Amino acid sequence: MEEPSYAALQREVQRKLGRCLIRIQQYELLLKELVAKREVSAILGRNPVPLAEPSPTATTRTMGQLVGELTDKYFQPTLLDSGETQPEASSDDNEHPAGWAGVRRSVSMSPDSHAKLIEELQELVDLRNDLVHHFVEVQDLVTEEGCIAADMYLQHCYTEIDRHLVSLQGWAASSNEATRSIAAFMASPEYNAFLMAELSPSISQREAALPCLVELLRRAEAKISKDGWTALSAAIAFAKTVAPDETPKKHAFGSWRQVLHDAGFFQVRRGPVSPGGPMETWYRFRA
């Protein structure tokens, strides 16, 4: 049976429609990830996890709903006033006396830019719905002229979808970089000391500073230990090199030996550096 004159053109339209739909799905998947990770939280414990996995509720929303949340919560037309981002009290607070931490991200922009963004994203949603639900109904795919017009329309659609995807990829990259920076800070000894002081207002200066000093001893151990033991004098020299401002006396400890004792994480012994040499304090972390 001989093919109609428009058959080759129709196949090209089908290929370009598939290309547009794949690009739309790539956009939707990235949009779901960005919306889902806008707000993350974690229960704090002895060793708190800075950022927990977000709720999966975004995976069940339509593209229109996701765009609405993006422009309502992620992108906002004004700078937030102080206190607006305070979370509501959780019913689980009493079950987790150590507390919990949460991070929310938002981007402020001028009202005009925000209104324009809403308009452009709504056009993208309308375009997506047209391709998914109405393309075959609206387009004339059984004439050469109709296939050529549909081809040109799909080329325009792909250009628009791709432009929006590139923008979304930029927003996601910035969001991921912010997450990495926050996680790095929350994993630092400085944040750990701050957290301990905040969770227990009555905590002493020494207890608040202990994690930072222990971290220096652990770093020294990883760098200069011999046969599993580290000479305290060598560790002190290392600490002076990498963190000269962090000293036991600064935080009301009498000495580094007191830090070892109060931490409770280390085995300590006395022994010569070499046979017949002076006695030295040695330590190693309890595995």
**pLDDT tens-place string over residues 81-113:** 444 444 444 444 444 444 566 777 888 888 999
Residue 176 has pLDDT above 80, yes or no: yes
Residues 82 and 35 reside in one and the same domain: yes
Q: How many domains does the chain have?
A: 2
Residue 44 confidence (pLDDT): 55
> In this structure, is residue 111 part of a structural domain?
yes
Mean pLDDT (whole number) for 119-136: 96
Is the domain of 59 the same as that of 156? yes
Which of 10-14, 28-32, 201-205 comes out lowest in average pLDDT? Answer: 201-205
Do 17 and 85 sit in the same domain of this protein? yes
Residue 89's pLDDT is 44
Residue 79 has pLDDT above 60, yes or no: no
Q: 78 and 161: one domain?
A: yes
Domain stop point among 187, 216, 248: 187
Residue 1 counted as domain residue? no
Angle, CA 249 vertex, CA 248 and CA 250 arms, to 5°: 90
Using CB atoms within 10 Å of the CB of residue 258, give its burial: 0 to 12 exposed, 13 to 18 middle, 19+ buried.
middle
Q: Are residues 211 and 182 in the same domain?
A: no
**Beta bridge partners of residue 270, listed in sequence order:** 281
Which residue range(s) make up the domain with 226?
191-285
At residue 234 the predicted structure's pLDDT band, cuts being 50, 70 and 90, is very high
Please indicate, yes or no, whether residues 200 and 183 belong to a single structural domain of this protein. no
Higher-confidence residue of 79 and 163: namely 163
Is 109 found in the same domain as 93? yes
Angle, alpha carbons 277-281-283 (nearest 5°)? 130
Instruction: Give the C-alpha distances (Å, rounded to integers) separating 251 from 193, 210, 239.
Output: 12, 8, 15
Res. 52 pLDDT band, cuts 50 70 90: very low
Tell me: do 201 and 263 sit in the same domain: yes
For residue 230, being part of any structural domain is answered with: yes
Range with the poorest average pLDDT among 105-109, 240-244, 282-286: 105-109
Q: How far apart are CA 173 and CA 204, in angstroms?
A: 41
Q: Are 37 and 179 in contact (CB under 8 A)?
A: yes
Distance, CA of 181 to CA of 65 (rounded, Å): 29
Identify the domain boundary among 129, 161, 187: 187
pLDDT reported for residue 82: 40
Write the CATH number for 222: 3.30.420.610
Does any domain span residue 42? yes
- Is residue 183 domain-shared with residue 227, that is, in the same domain? no
- CA-closest candidate to residue 24, choices 154, 150, 113: 154
Residue 133's contacts (CB-CB under 8 Å, 6 or more residues apart) are none
Query: Residue 141's pLDDT is what?
Result: 96
Among residues 267, 276, 172, which one has the least CA distance to residue 225? 267
Q: Among the ranges 32-46, 82-96, 272-286, which has the highest mean pLDDT value?
A: 272-286
Whether 168 and 218 map to the same domain: the answer is: no
Mean pLDDT score of the chain:
83
Task: Please indicate, yes or no, if residue 2 is contained in any of the structural domains.
Answer: no
> Does the pLDDT of residue 42 top 50, yes or no?
yes
Most confident of 161-165, 239-243, 259-263: 161-165
For residues 111 and 78, is the Cβ–Cβ distance under 8 A? yes
Please indicate, yes or no, whether residues 25 and 138 belong to a single structural domain of this protein. yes
Q: Which one is predicted more confidently, 57 or 144?
A: 144
Instruction: Let me know if residue 261 belongs to a domain.
Output: yes
Task: Look at residue 40 and tell me if it is in a domain.
Answer: yes
Which tens digit of pLDDT belongs to each residue from 262-277?
Answer: 888 899 999 887 777 7
Question: Do residues 163 and 44 both lie within one domain?
Answer: yes
- Last-in-domain residue among 157, 187, 217: 187
Q: Is the pTM of this model over 0.85?
A: no
User: Is 100 inside any structural domain?
Assistant: yes
